[in-house]
Amino acid sequence: MPIPGHVDPVPVPRGLAPRADGRTDLVGLSKPEIRAALEAIGLDQRQAKMRAKQLWHWIYNRGATEFAVMTDIAKAQHPLLETHFVIARPDVKEAQVSRDGTRKWLLTSPDGQDYEMVFIPDADRGTLCVSSQVGCTLNCTFCHTGTMRLVRNLTAGEIVGQVMLARDALGEWPSTPEGRMLTNIVMMGMGEPLYNFDQVRDALSVVMDGDGLALSKRRITLSTSGVVPMMARAGAEIGVNLAVSLHAVTKEVRDEIVPLNRKYGIEELLQACADYPGANNARRITFEYVMLKDKNDSDADAHELVRLLRKYQLPAKVNLIPFNPWPGANYECSTPDRIRAFSDIVFEGGISAPVRRPRGRDIDAACGQLKTASEKKSRAELDRIAAEKQAALA
């Protein structure tokens, strides 16, 4: 969807080309959509409803990728299903494993577009960082992904497919809530999820369905840079946890590092957070704050952050993120002592402010580093793209 307002800072994202073999991918379709697809190939309503339920179970509970393994569907129907449908996974172009166990996949779609996902294991949880777009509409100056052009939105199937592929890699079929390594999902990969609202909503609906992947909405977090007009809809129609890429507490600094602030300012953003459905002390809003040396890390910045969160009476947690450098970046990471002092001030203000431990830095999988390895541009080209985006937002 285009950015709300008079100027869309990027070209309209292109659509997804149909599969070359003409088949429909069932991954990402809702139960009614699967049933409708079966009716379209000639099954009557009663049989389509029954087969849709069976297909749903095999795809999302058992992780099946072939119709031949579906033992409760008559063998005579397998050729019909194979002619019209496919149960696909994203193609893996490259897979990397960090020294700390973080895993990153470079994926490619049937139309040749590359995007990434990251799995971060911890002692008591495993978090999958999922992408929502190929490229990004925004130009957050500290973020490597922000230097990419937006190519297109990912489909619901491509978003769900990332979860399916991770389950494959972790050996987590059949799908059961107990003993999972993949326990959490964060929509914090490539792209701005709220600029691909419909597909993200539909994908997460599939992920949260209790008869399939069955991941609780309390285990899913959607991150936004502050697309204010879509935040209320996200709370009402998706209902997952909210994370906001704040990163600064003054208009001047946030205008520079998160240019979307020129359209939706800090005060407007924080009011939208205060109005977010379901936010409470048990489901706090997470504010992401990247620590940039001599840019947003002073004691005054920390005190202002506390003041703003108190002003809007927000049930908040602040994640302090040491800046992860990338080639051509114009910023340095704050020193450990400065980060610790900033955290102490926010904690003393009654707001949790843990420092996130960087993960996957050696494979460019850490926060802000996510960018496809196939996307290589000169510094001059990156600067030109950045200038185009900022001029459009001005």
What is the spatial distance between Cα 181 and Cα 344, in angstroms, rounded to a whole number?
32
Which one from 256, 367, 381, 388 is the annotated catalytic residue? 367
Q: Which secondary structure element, helix H or strand E, spans residue 308, and what is its range?
A: helix 299-311
Structure-token pair, residue 324:
């992860």
- How far from 181 is each of 162, 167, 168, 170, 360, CA to CA, in Å? 15, 9, 12, 7, 17
What is the spatial distance between Cα 169 and Cα 159, in angstroms, rounded to a whole number?
16
Buried b (16+ CB within 10 A) or exposed e, 48-78: bbebbeebbbbbbbebbeebeebeebeeeee
Q: How far out from the chain centre does Cα 46 lie? A: 37
Q: Kind of pairing, strands 152-153 and 133-134? A: antiparallel
Q: Is 367 a catalytic residue?
A: yes
Structure-token pair, residue 18:
């149909």
Which one from 39, 94, 116, 158 is the annotated catalytic residue? 116
User: Could you give the maximum distance between any two Cα atoms of the chain, in Å?
Assistant: 71
Just list the catalytic residues. 116, 367
